[in-house]
Amino acid sequence: MKISKEQARERISLLRREIEEHNRRYYVDNKPSVSDFEYDLLMQELQFLETKFPQFFSQDSPSVRVGSDLPLQTSKKEFVQVTHKHPMLSLSNTYDKLELEAFNERIKKSIDSDFNYVCELKIDGTAISLTYSNNRLIRAVTRGDGNTGDDVTSNVINISSIPKNLPASNLVKDFEIRGEIFMPWSSFDSLNKERELNEEPLFANPRNAAAGSLKLLDSSEVAKRGLNAILYHVITDTPFFATHYESLQWAKDCGFPVSEHIVLCQDLDSVLEYLENWDEKRKTLDYPTDGVVVKINEFVHQQALGITSKSPKWATAYKFKAEQALTRIISVDYQVGRTGAVTPVANLEPVLLSGTTVKRASLHNTDQMQLLDIHINDYVYIEKGGEIIPKITGVDISKRVTTAEKPLFPEFCPDCNSKLYRAEDEAKFYCLNSLHCPTQIKGKFLHFAGRKAMNILAGEATVDQLYALGYIRKLSDLYHLSKEQLLSLEGWKERSAERFLESLNTSKSTPFQKVLFALGIRHIGETTAKSLASHFGNIANLMEAAYDQLLEVEDIGETVADSIVSYFSEQENISVIKELIEAGLLFEIKNDIDIKSDKLLGKNIVISGNFSISREELKKIIESNSGKNLSSVTSNTTYLLAGEKAGPSKLDKAKKLGITVIDEEEFFKIIK
């Protein structure tokens, strides 16, 4: 089809905007809205049009720039950004073996002498660059935009497979090594199960989970995510190795996590054999792979071939196509979660996909059902998002029977029959009968007793039994259960009752932030609960907090503030909290800080930026000198302690309010 210059200009402009939006969702938000294959088709079309109409080419085009994971300027918090000594490029890729043959022919024409390939599994994670000096890890930086990345050293040191120090006998003292940080399937599955239980948004795939985890501001949380790494590229200023394969063997000997599946290939036939082998075998691995990277082995040839502004000419990636299965929708169920969200779930004819039998797939919400135009008895295509979470990606209309009917989303709660409600800005319908809907009540007990909350020995079967007998209706009822009541439960013996009561007693020492999380307030996850507990100190201050005061807390937006105000407006919730306090639960932060002086007594201090020590250490120093940490600048702030890359909004607000801004040196003079 012919296309005019004006049509090409408009299409190129549209493609650039669309690709930039997908880049933002993929790299920054970690919530991609299209598959890799769909994204690559858009990029290929853009590259074709820019080649055919060179007058519209631009150096700012996403076709020549690496997608960036750097946060937007509007972000509340940012990591320190570091310029890469050597640019971190992306790879050209293909789904077609014919294009691999064309790549091989280009190499042959450019190189007169013999060469080898190295084949590596393409790990679907997030790129990282590690810098070592004198055998010690000194910096870990994300890809960013290829030239500048985020310094995430404090998080990376929590990944056990990455060496922090190398043997003194190692001769290569100063170097850079790059690779992928990823989340194993086992960790990913476990994380999403917890998020689903807490009704938090699920990660679409392990890559997004790894990238999101690496950008967490609480390093202790990163340590819990089960991240791992595979490294594949060594860079030295002084030549130490003749080939890529040799450098990886050295890295492996030093204790770096290098893939055991790297293979040296003599020719393209060996490469194609490797692809065929791993297209199936990769499904047996405990980490995500989406293709194979093919590299020229000899460094002298790599240097001769060079790079483009976006990718090396001596390497390419062959990507595997996502596995699909076709099966029939038998029916649709509607599940009520602990926060009242009603989720449609399709029941499917069992089908084998990526090594597991799939029987159910979430339809997420009514909008998704309408978008897919789902009918009962439709044949639908199933994929696994990240090859773990089954999802319906399309309908085979040609197989639809004339009698097929659309499933009707219920108007009333399938459990308590209350009228369902949907806010204008929400995709889901909710049952608002949170205090009397049986499924919601039991869901709250399961959340409250969970390992990350109160850690009480009460699973789904126990909660069902206790609820059925009328022993529990509100959370505080747990702490009034007697041994006699427990022994009346089917299958319970003396020892099981004693262990349950012991876990209840132990739960009374659970820290305030976990108790707050355990209450199950909508939109309050672990991190948010920690921020609220730290900011307000006790439950009384939080209950009395005005809407504007809630918005002053870091990471608290309007939606969360609305949820908190709504929760504490219910008298039944207030009564339950009072009963939990009477039962002995902790609803205030226990201050175990050793007070060394009163030099900051009455001083409210806000910390912003980066310092020679961690923020957590600074906060402890402030508290040990009788000061109070605030998370946002208000008229009550005494000092804004500003380090390198301090937040511009906080600096501006301090200036407007006349708040004294001090640096690290001035701070230590004050407490000296």
Given a contact cutoff of 8 angstroms between Cβ atoms, the answer to whether 527 and 539 are in contact is no
pLDDT band at 72 (very low <50, low <70, confident <90, very high): very low
Domain co-membership, 570 together with 655:
no
Cα 342–Cα 346–Cα 349 angle in degrees, nearest 5: 160
Q: What is the dihedral of CA 186, 189, 190, 196, to 10 degrees?
A: 180
Residue 67 CA: distances (Å) to CA of 56, 82, 208, 235: 20, 17, 15, 22
Among 323, 146, 290, residue whose Cα is nearest residue 207: 290
Q: 77: pLDDT confidence band, cut at 50, 70 and 90?
A: very low
pLDDT confidence band for 379 (50 / 70 / 90): very high
Tell me: do 377 and 348 sit in the same domain. yes
> What mean pLDDT, rounded, does the chain reach?
86
Region 357-373: mean pLDDT is: 86
Mean pLDDT for 153-174 is 88
Residue 230 has a pLDDT of: 95
Per-residue model confidence (pLDDT) at position 67: 55
The structure tokens listed for 294 are 């093919």
Torsion over CA: 345, 346, 351, 354 (sign): negative
Instruction: Give the integer Cα–Cα distance in Å for 196 and 182.
Output: 21
The domain spanning residue 407 has which CATH number?
A: 2.40.50.140
pLDDT single digits (tens) 487-499: 999 989 999 899 9
How much is the average pLDDT of 209-224? 82
Instruction: Find the mean pLDDT for residues 188-210.
Output: 77
Cβ atoms of residues 161 and 226 within 8 Å: no
User: How much is the pLDDT for 612?
Assistant: 82
Rounded average pLDDT over 293-301: 95
Q: Binning pLDDT at 50, 70 and 90, where does residue 296 land?
A: very high
The distance in angstroms from the start CA to the end CA of the chain is: 76
Structural element, H or E, at residue 668: helix 664-671
Kindly tell me if the per-residue pLDDT of 510 is higher than 90.
yes
Question: Could you tell me if residue 346 is inside a domain?
Answer: yes
Asked if residues 179 and 131 have their Cβ atoms less than 8 Å apart, the reply is no
Are 535 and 560 contained in the same domain? yes
Please name which of 414, 500, 419 lies closest in space to residue 457, comparing C-alpha atoms: 500
Lowest mean pLDDT among 239-243, 520-524, 535-539, 551-555: 551-555
Q: On the CB side of 439, how many CA atoms lie within 13 Å of its CA?
A: 19
Which of 319, 352, 369 is the endpoint of a domain?
A: 319
From the list 299, 245, 20, the residue with the least C-alpha distance to 119 is 245
121-136: pLDDT as tens digits:
999 899 999 999 998 9
| Token pair recorded at residue 588 | 């205030």
Instruction: Report the pLDDT averaged over residues 143-148.
Output: 87
* Opening angle at CA 16, ends 14 and 20, nearest 5: 120
| DSSP secondary structure of 76-113 | S--PPEEE-SS------EES-HHHHHHHHHHHHHH--S
More confident residue, 219 or 336: 336
What pLDDT is recorded for position 224?
83
State whether 340 and 284 are in the same domain: no
Q: 392 and 540 in one domain? A: no
Reply yes or no on whether the pLDDT at 410 is more than 90. Answer: yes
**Cβ distance 100 to 169 under 8 Å?**
no
Beta strands per DSSP E along 114-158:
117-123, 126-133, 136-142, 148-150
354/384 Cα distance (integer angstroms): 8
Same domain, 501 and 406: no
pLDDT at site 30:
56
Given 294, 319, 344, which residue is the final one in a domain?
Answer: 319
Q: 243 and 335, same structural domain?
A: no
Question: Within a 10 A sphere around the Cβ of 429, how many other Cβ atoms?
Answer: 22
Question: 421 lies in which domain range?
Answer: 325-430
Within a domain: residue 74? no
* pLDDT, tens only, 82-123: 899 998 988 888 888 898 999 999 999 998 889 999 999 999
Confidence band of 373 (pLDDT split at 50, 70, 90):
very high
Tokens of 355: 């090594």
Specify the DSSP class assigned to residue 538: B
Tell me which residue of 42, 63, 558 sits closest to 32, measured CA to CA: 42
Of residues 466 and 523, the one with the higher pLDDT is 466
* Longest pairwise C-alpha distance within the chain: 86
Tell me which residue has tokens 């290939």. Answer: 265
Given a cut of 70, is residue 70 above it in pLDDT? no
Greatest mean pLDDT range, 408-417, 423-432, 583-592, 613-622 = 408-417
**SS3 for 4?**
coil
Q: Is residue 66 part of a domain?
A: no
Which region, left, alpha or beta, applies to residue 227 given φ > 0 means left and ψ of -120 to 50 means alpha?
A: beta
pLDDT over 60 at 69, yes or no: no
Question: Does residue 65 lie in a domain region?
Answer: no
Question: Cβ(435)–Cβ(575) under 8 Å?
Answer: no
pLDDT range class, residue 54, cuts 50, 70, 90: confident
Q: Is the pLDDT of residue 293 over 80?
A: yes
Flag whether pLDDT at 388 surpasses 90.
no
The kind and range of the H/E element at 484 are: helix 483-487
* 194 and 283 part of one domain: yes
Q: Do residues 494 and 403 share a domain?
A: no
> Do residues 222 and 279 both lie within one domain?
yes
Residues with catalytic roles = 122
Number of domains in the chain: 5
Specify the pLDDT at position 156. Answer: 92
Residues 124 and 187 in one domain: yes
- CB neighbours of 5 closer than 8 A, spacing ≥ 6? 53, 55
Evaluate whether residue 442 is within a structural domain.
yes
Phi–psi pair at 263, nearest 5 degrees: -130, 140
Mean of pLDDT values over 504-532:
90
**pLDDT interval class at 593 (50, 70, 90):** low
For 24, the enclosing helix (H) or strand (E) is none
Q: Is the pTM of this model over 0.85?
A: no
- Choice among 15-29, 64-78, 451-465 with the minimum mean pLDDT: 64-78
Q: What is the pLDDT of residues 246-285, one digit of tens each?
A: 999 999 999 999 999 999 999 999 999 999 999 888 878 8
Q: Classify residue 200: in a domain, yes or no.
A: yes
Residue 117 lies in a domain: yes
> Any idea what the CATH number is for the domain that residue 629 is in?
3.40.50.10190
Rounded CA separation 217/226 (Å)? 16
Segment 204-228 mean pLDDT: 83
Q: Is residue 13 scored above 50 in pLDDT? A: yes
In this structure, the answer to whether residues 255 and 185 fall within a common structural domain is yes
Q: Which of 582, 617, 642 is the last residue of a domain?
A: 582
pLDDT tens-place string over residues 645-657: 788 878 888 888 8
Does residue 67 fall inside a structural domain?
no
Q: pLDDT at position 76, please? A: 41
Is residue 369 predicted with pLDDT exceeding 50? yes
Beta bridge partners, 129, equal 141, 178
